[in-house]
Structure 1
Amino acid sequence: MAEAQLQLAEITELEPNSKENSVDQPSGIDRIRNATSRGYKWWIRTVLYSVFLICGQSMATILGRLYFEKGGTSKWLAALAQIGGFPVLVPLYCFLVWRNPVIGSESDSPPFLKAFAKVYLPLGLLVASSGFLFSVGLQYLPVSVVTLITASQLAFNAFFSYFLNSQKFTAAIINSLVLLTISSVLLVVNNHTEKPAGVSKAEYAAGFICTVGGAAVYGLLLASQQLALRKVLKKQTLKVVFDIIIYESLVASIVIVVGLFASGESKGLKKEMDEYALGKVSYVMTLLWTAIGWQVFAIGTVGLILEVSSLYSISVSTVGLPIVPVLAVFIFHDKMDGIKGMSMVLAIWGFISYIYQHYLDHRKSKIENRIAGEIADEDCLPAEVHPADNIA
């Protein structure tokens, strides 16, 4: 029994600090039973967020390239389409607070101005930077190349998570990062001859550098979101997910709009709409659905950070990347040669390697919960009655 209690003590020390964030934490056997009952709900939420992330990412990336393919030229407007769709979430956010007024007045949350200065403002600046860099990449590179380069954001996120969130690296995770890095490097070697029509070598190089930069900034963004959830906001609820998405998107949209007018690109938007190959209505609908797609993606991303970690969230994003190049072959007639296929295989292999590590962690967690449950059950057993105690 002493040995088992020592094991439980070691397990408790390894548990995440997020338990300190709850107001009333159940203890002992109640906490163990609650954790078991929440198991299937956690999987449902995780799968749902994953579907949101993959579907939103695929739809928005394809539409983002379609904007440039059919006559769009404004990098700032394309960046705004990635970020500016957050108002569609406001009605859902208000409904959420109305249905459960308690979550709208969380007493242990930091004051809004403090949260804005420490969380929403810096995250919004990172979102704006990432959005603009990716829009440059979509303008000058084939969409298949952009999406495969984006796989490198997993390695960037792992790097930043190591310093910001004390991310632990196992053999499977390191293997995943190496494979994804090689996957991106192969594209550098292969795609110097695959340039969209009218794109110079300098523009192609700029698009490649900006896409890699966007992946790096995005990796930092997700690691920072995880840090903010655990250390500053100290609340892991659905309301916090919406808070982060809405307020960081608001800050990023303001920055992008300022850039749109400061660059002078706003003056040519009317002409751009008139000359759009698919017509004015399609021009508006392309931008609108791009914005909605990125908001669906944002819900999935932040939801997975809340449920698991930023590294897991970006890993799910990586496994969804091969969907876009396959669609691009049919929609934009992108080439699918051997090197690009090899890059895709390595990206998928890298993701599977990471998922395997998550499976091992989940199995270990189940064993630890079982040991904890057995100890709790033993502690609840009545003490043995010695025969001598009945002699009165």
Structure 2
Amino acid sequence: METAGFPILFIPLFSLFLQSRSKRLPFSEFFMEPKLFILSALIGLLLGLDNFLYSIGLSYTPVSTSSILFATQLAFLAVFAFLIVRQKFTAYSINSVFLMTLGSVLLGLRTEGDRPAGVSNGQYLLGFFLTLASAAVLGFIWPLVELSYSKAKRPVNYSIVLQFQLNIAIFATIFSATGMYLNNDFQAISKEASEYGLGSNMYYIVLAAGAVVWQLSFLGGVGVVFCANSLLNGILSAVLLPITEVAAVIAYQENFNGEKALALVLCLWGFASYFYGEYKMNKKLKNAAAKEQVPVLQ
């Protein structure tokens, strides 16, 4: 369901297409070039693989373990951003990655839930490594998106970003749907719907709403990469985890223990550290530019 909501992207794309036709722009200026199509298709298959790895890993590990492992995504992203797109790090950004990863891991340390019943030691180890691999793959995907933008021959604009995300979602959905078909997972949907506490109709509404929200989330991710970089996208994603915990406390009256409070403080501290570092860097660049513009008196 994380990628199945891609049809909603046709709405803004169709509007942009009509605008381009009204301006009589050539088709080649609206549609993304073949290189980006191929790269987005490959990224989509990687995302489908990531979903597969995480779903299998989650079935063999408790929620606490999978949460800790998947929280390492930001650390993987930072490493791949450095290797793939030569992301420049400062003391502030390194501090941010460390604090936010630590805060995310902390949320899983005291999560209730033991090993699922009937899971052997071998299955548990398999789930452990598959979940860790899932975090690594997702950390690899976002720098790859940033690299893809840089490989475009024409300037990347809003319509290209939408098409890029649409293609990613289509290929990821094809990959996931193929796996579900081969494993006969589609047959379980009707059974889950009949057992859903709020009724089968509400079950399908929740699925559709979740698909739309996930698609908007991914679209926001590729947009952040387009406007800034993949590291910022990872930081924004990491800060959502403790905020989600706070929202759960408000909405579902869950306990707000010391671990959650400390995780929230660490993530917000890391979040502030990153933007303070960006602020200082931009200020330094502006001062340097201003000095270059000052005329030298003879």
TM-score normalised per structure 1: 0.65
Q: 1:98 aligns with which of 7, 15, 18?
A: 18
Distance in 1, matches of 2:153 and 2:252, equals: 43
Distance in 1, matches of 2:26 and 2:254, equals: 47
- AA aligned to 1:294 is W
Contact 2:37-2:164 at 8 Å conserved across structures: no
Contact 2:103-2:266 at 8 Å conserved across structures: yes
Output one character per residue of 1:333-370: Cα deviation in whole Å (capped at 9) or x when no partner.
65443234323322222222112111122222322443
Distance in 1, matches of 2:32 and 2:15, equals: 22
Partner of 2:113: 195
Partner of 1:247: 167
Partner of 1:224: 144
SS state at 1:363 partner: helix
Q: 1:116 aligns with which of 37, 40, 62?
A: 37
Aligned CA distance change for structure 1 residues 188 and 303 (closer, same or farther; 3 Å): closer
Partner of 2:279: 359
Cα deviation for residue 332 of structure 1 reads 5.6
Partner of 2:232: 312
Distance in 2, matches of 1:201 and 1:341, equals: 32
Taking only aligned residues, the RMSD between alpha carbons, in angstroms, comes to 3.2
Residues 295-334 of structure 1: matches in 2 within 5 Å? 295-330=215-250, 334=254
SS state at 1:265 partner: coil
Cα deviation for residue 286 of structure 1 reads 0.9
Q: Which runs of 5+ in 2 are unaligned?
A: none
Distance in 1, matches of 2:290 and 2:261, equals: 44
SS state at 2:151 partner: helix
- Count matched residues: 290
Aligned CA distance change for structure 1 residues 153 and 173 (closer, same or farther; 3 Å): same
Distance in 1, matches of 2:230 and 2:262, equals: 26
Contact 2:3-2:169 at 8 Å conserved across structures: yes
Residues 35-54 of structure 1: matches in 2 within 5 Å? none
Larger radius of gyration: 1
TM-score normalised per structure 2: 0.83
Output one character per residue of 1:184-203: Cα deviation in whole Å (capped at 9) or x when no partner.
44356434xx1189767768
Cα deviation for residue 87 of structure 1 reads 0.6
Output one character per residue of 1:117-139: Cα deviation in whole Å (capped at 9) or x when no partner.
3x022201121123334445776
Aligned CA distance change for structure 1 residues 326 and 105 (closer, same or farther; 3 Å): same
Aligned: 1:153 with 2:73: yes
Q: 1:284 aligns with which of 204, 209, 217?
A: 204
Q: Which runs of 5+ in 1 are unaligned?
A: 1-80, 380-392
Distance in 1, matches of 2:239 and 2:107, equals: 17
